[in-house]
Amino acid sequence: MTKKVLILAEVRENSLRNVSFEAIAAAKDIAQGGEVVALLIGSTIEHLAPELAFAGADRVVTIEHPHLQCYTSDGFSQAVLAAYEQEKPDALVFGHTSQGKDLSPKIASRLQSGLISDVVRIEVENGTAQFVRPIYSGKAFETVEVAEGLTFVTVRPNNIAALPKDTTKAVNVSSLKVDIQNLRTVVKEIVRKTTSGVDLSEAKVIVSGGRGVKSAEGFNVLQKLADVLGGAVGASRGACDAGYTDYSLQIGQTGKVVTPDLYIACGISGAIQHIAGMSNAKIIVAINKDPEANIFSIADYGIVGDLFEVVPLLTEEFNNLLLSV
């Protein structure tokens, strides 16, 4: 049965995040030939609407308001609920990002709906969408099906491939006026603490460090490799707790969950909490002096050695390889 699906696009630094396009692809599977509507929320964001149409959205609805320039759960929930009332969709799709994880439970509660979070794969059987998600810190997977009512899911970045873009597609954009009011929080300033211009949760390559990096200066070695590979730098909680880097880079059960194409773990022992945040990476390379480190049990490739010797060699080799292409 065809369905209307409403997806929430995400904007970061005046550009659409990749998870927006992945959400459209997920919505297509759920819609089964029905309509996919992209919701774009912000202050001055209408110029981004064509990208959503080219990525597969049948329509784009924009909600612009000065109070929506920065994300707040109060402001964005008012906008999403207004769009929901106008569109009356059969399904909602958000990204399983910091924004999506904050906003989706609030919307689900207001709509008295269930919520299937952290979906990594969608399978369609006999016309019914089934959602695969990790459980028990990624040690197992469950398949969930919605029996009745609203289908509401969040999709993990880098797991559902975006559709090929069609720049010849007609762009159907409409605006919805919403009076955003009664905000309990106001964002005065955003200070981003990152070591790379690449968004960690959407990076295709991540070079991550643990306590074995030994110092904040030690992360400079990892940054050089990440820069060569066009990736981002991450960290274990141990490295963050030790003050080597900021908690915004933490990967794990209590940090960011990432699914890059390549994950290089440097000086990380492999605690289960860290593995929960990166075990679904397509290729995992572990570098550690301890041959018994738990990280080797999930690694596709393991290098037993001092990261301060191995990582610069990798950086040099990758740099030479790229220069020769």
Element (H, E) at 234: strand 232-235
* pLDDT value, residue 137: 77
Residue 11's pLDDT is what?
94
What lies within 8 Å, CB to CB, of 279 at 6+ separation is 138, 298
Question: What φ, ψ does residue 304 adopt, rounded to 5°?
Answer: -90, 110
**CA dihedral for 292, 298, 302, 308, sign (positive or negative):** negative
Strand partners, 288: 304
Q: Would you state the pLDDT for residue 20?
A: 97
Q: What is the pLDDT of residue 139?
A: 81
pLDDT in tens, the chain (325 residues): 789 999 999 998 889 999 999 999 999 999 999 999 999 999 999 999 999 999 999 999 999 999 999 999 999 999 999 999 999 999 999 999 999 999 999 999 999 999 999 999 999 988 899 999 998 877 899 999 999 999 999 999 989 999 999 999 999 999 999 999 988 888 887 776 554 467 788 899 999 999 999 999 999 999 999 999 999 999 999 999 999 999 999 999 889 989 999 999 999 999 999 999 999 899 999 999 999 999 999 999 999 999 999 999 999 999 999 887 6
> Residue 305: its pLDDT value, please?
96
* DSSP letters for 67-132: GGSS--HHHHHHHHHHHHHHH--SEEEEESSHHHHHHHHHHHHHHT---EEEE-EEEEETTEEEEE
Residues in Cβ contact with 250 at an 8 Å cutoff, skipping those fewer than 6 apart: 234, 235, 236, 237, 240, 256
With CA atoms as reference, report the closest residue to 237 among 274, 286, 195.
274
pLDDT at 1: 79
**What are the Cα distances from residue 215, in Å, to 242, 245, 246?**
8, 8, 12
Crossing angle between the packed helical segments 98-111 and 73-87, to the nearest 10 degrees? 50
Kindly list the structural domains of the chain, giving each domain's residue range(s) and its CATH number in brackets, ordered by start. 5-175 (3.40.50.620), 200-324 (3.40.50.1220)
Question: Which structure tokens are listed for 190?
Answer: 């955003």
Phi and psi at 41, nearest 5°, equal -120, 135
Q: Write the DSSP symbol of residue 65.
A: -
Q: Determine the longest span between alpha carbons in the chain, in angstroms.
A: 60
Task: Look up residue 226 and give its amino acid.
Answer: A
Residue 322 has what pLDDT?
86
Q: Which pairing describes strands 59-64 and 36-42: parallel, antiparallel, or unpaired? A: parallel
CA-to-CA distance for 64 and 318, rounded, in angstroms? 44
What was the pLDDT predicted at 324? 79
**Residue from 205, 208, 272 nearest 245 by CA:** 208
Q: Which residues pair with 213 in a beta bridge?
A: none
Claim: this prediction has a pTM higher than 0.75: yes
Encoded tokens for 208: 């991550």
Sheet containing 232-235, strands listed edge to edge, beginning at the edge strand earlier in sequence: 232-235, 205-209, 262-266, 283-288, 301-304
